[in-house]
Amino acid sequence: MSATPQNSLLAANASGLTAEAALEAERMRRAAAMVTVTNRLEPSEVPRLLEAAGRVIGRLAAPETVIRVAEKNADAIWLFARRGKARPEGFMSALLLNQSGRSALFDGTLNLLDPQNEYLVSQHERPAAIYVWASFTPGVLAAGINRVMDRFDSPHYAEADVISTSFTMRGHRAMVRRGFEQGVWHEDRFLEDFYMIPRRPETLAARLPRYATHHPVQHPTGIRVVTGFDDMMRVAAVRSAVYIGEQACPYDEEFDGNDLAATHLLALIGNEPAGCMRLRFFGDFAKLERLAVRKEFRKSRTAFDLVRASVALCKEKGYRRIYGHAREDLLPFWQHFGFRLKENGAPFAFSDHVFVEMIDTIEPSPTALSLKDDPYRLIRTEGVWHVPGPLELSAARAAHLQSPQI
């Protein structure tokens, strides 16, 4: 509703890695139970809510504009109230945009204070983008945002990109913690003021691979494959903080001699190491292990992004099965990604915890590495198979090897 909304408070997901994270998830669940959420807008409530929100956010759309947007699509405006209270005290709003509206948002022709009807979809139409227009969720009401995002995760909305903006450092940090990527490419322009969770097939197809999304300048929040000693030090620092520092795991059990025989993924938030994952590769399966996220980043989507990036890497290598060990109490976290208990696998213990074996069945990527590939692709840097490597570039030098004379 504002011309320059400051923060979209999309709810964070607990990583599920520690008992502390589980307690945080339970706290959020209880908070959500204290909030009622509805998209049934009572027009008489709109001026009061906008006046309260305007004192915090700044200039907002007029009440008649908000009512018009809600009449176009009821899912655009959500009202939050403390359970037992008759009147709503907060709201979350979104512009549900068609393809033309998505483009208009990026090129500046969408009027954010009075959005044009031709850019908005009705409830039976699938949007191309969900733009977080404005939200006002004081206190416990913020817990209701999870319920709205559940709606936007439904099949009807699942392929719409979620977009927001922020013009403050606090807002930037909130976006990053909640899984948004800073910057959007539109018609060969990089728009750094926008933040996006890409979900459209065409958007995802144009993205960097999930395991290669980090760039120190353009994408300071992302994931990359470890290819040097400096990054291995970052991985060791994360795992030492989580497993040795928090969980009192003995050094020799955490650093077990397999690190130099594995591939590692490093997640960074604002160029700061936030989490990591280790992958080892066997004959017909890959194994995920040593997932760790630093305490201060556990309200972000880092753990989820690392698992998805690891699966994507396995698919690109052509694997069809992934194996892993899950702590019994954290199995639901892994089941979220499709892992299931290994048939005939019995619980077993190490490092003072009980674990279960789990398996996931996957399909190789359409671009999976194979002997049919150009030979240059197979000598590119690990995890950077989409970018020409140094040996490939060396072929451009003037001097070339000559075929031997017979």
Convert the pLDDT of each residue in 224-247 to its tens digit. 999 999 999 999 999 999 999 999
Check: CB of residue 74 under 8 Å from CB of residue 99.
no
Q: Are residues 191 and 51 in the same domain?
A: yes
**Residue 302 included in any domain:** yes
Q: Are residues 336 and 283 in the same domain?
A: yes
**Residue 158 included in any domain:** yes
pLDDT at 2: 44
DSSP state of 12: P
Cα separation of 337 and 339, whole Å? 6
Residue 144 belongs to a domain with what CATH number? 3.40.630.30
pLDDT at 350: 85
Q: Which of 207, 240, 273 is the last residue of a domain?
A: 207
Q: Are residues 173 and 27 in the same domain?
A: yes
- Which backbone phi and psi does 293 adopt, to 5 degrees? -130, 130
Residue range(s) defining the domain that contains residue 242 = 224-361
Q: Are residues 278 and 182 in the same domain?
A: no
What are the tokens at 194?
Answer: 């926008």
What are the tokens at 190?
Answer: 């990089």
Q: Are residues 128 and 263 in the same domain?
A: no
Cα separation of 37 and 148, whole Å? 8
Q: How many domains is the chain partitioned into structurally?
A: 2
Strand order in the sheet with 189-197: 35-38, 77-82, 90-97, 129-136, 161-165, 189-197, 181-186
Q: Are residues 45 and 194 in the same domain?
A: yes
pLDDT at 182: 77
**Residue 324 included in any domain:** yes
Q: Are residues 153 and 188 in the same domain?
A: yes
Q: Are residues 155 and 26 in the same domain?
A: yes
**Residue 380 included in any domain:** no
Q: Which of 342, 361, 380 is the last residue of a domain?
A: 361
**Residue 6 included in any domain:** no
Count of CB atoms within 10 A of residue 335's CB?
14
Concatenating the DSSP letter of every residue in 133-192 gives EEEE--GGGGGGHHHHHHHHTSTTTTTSEEEEE--SHHHHHHHHHTTPEEEEEETTEEEE
pLDDT at 171: 72
- With a cut of 70, which residues of the chain have pLDDT below it? 1-32, 167, 176-177, 188, 204-206, 396-406
Q: Are residues 55 and 186 in the same domain?
A: yes
**Residue 402 included in any domain:** no
pLDDT at 351: 81
**Residue 333 included in any domain:** yes
Q: Are residues 177 and 248 in the same domain?
A: no
**Residue 2 included in any domain:** no
Q: Are residues 26 and 167 in the same domain?
A: yes
pLDDT at 349: 86
Q: Are residues 31 and 173 in the same domain?
A: yes
Q: Which of 361, 377, 401 is the last residue of a domain?
A: 361
